[in-house]
């Protein structure tokens, strides 16, 4: 693993406030189409789940694997579109399934991931991303500018 893989850009901003609640779908709309392996590692929320899945089943799918509930980019967008309210959520992206190391994920070490999106206690979004994922912009910087993150 190269040194650049350990460098992550990070921003944090409110998940909600008077008159707003930032949904996962809003965050990922700035991410271009990709062929990354996405995984939901934690999910407590309310919404209409895709694929005729009940929301309780998402938690079961997350717990059923050491690498979480695996999704393609298209599936993540469908999932995000149906997720209307978020209490806790942890989503990671990696270049491939092989880059999702269960031992690292088990100790919240996401250095092998391209990006993470985490909602904490219905109060804060924390987004990390590897700089240089796209030539013309940085996703984390764009979200920081959009939502006033630190």
Chain-centroid distance, C-alpha 7: 17
Average pLDDT over every residue of 95-120:
94
Specify the number of domains making up the chain.
Answer: 1
Say whether pLDDT at 112 is over 80.
yes
Q: Pick 74 or 4 by higher pLDDT.
A: 74
> In this predicted structure, what is the pLDDT of residue 5?
54
Helices (H), the chain: 24-28, 55-63, 73-82, 102-106, 139-147
**Which pLDDT tens digit goes with each residue over 33-73?**
999 999 999 988 877 766 555 555 666 666 667 899 999 99
Pick from 141, 129, 32: nearest CA to 77: 32
Give the domain range for residue 101.
Answer: 3-147
């Amino acid at each position: 693993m190269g040194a650049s893989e350990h460098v992550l850009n990070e921003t944090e901003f409110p998940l909600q406030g008077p008159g707003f609640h930032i949904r996962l779908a809003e965050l990922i709309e700035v991410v271009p189409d990709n062929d990354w392996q996405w995984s939901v590692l934690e999910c407590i929320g309310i919404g209409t789940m895709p694929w005729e899945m009940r929301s309780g089943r998402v938690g079961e799918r997350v717990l059923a694997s050491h690498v979480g509930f695996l999704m393609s980019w298209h599936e993540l967008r469908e999932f995000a579109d149906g997720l209307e309210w978020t209490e806790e959520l942890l989503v990671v992206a990696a270049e491939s399934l092989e880059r999702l190391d269960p031992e690292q994920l088990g100790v919240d070490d996401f250095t092998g991931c391209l990006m993470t999106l985490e909602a904490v206690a219905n109060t804060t979004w924390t987004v990390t991303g590897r700089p240089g994922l796209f030539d013309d912009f940085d996703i984390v910087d764009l979200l920081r500018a959009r939502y006033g993150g630190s």
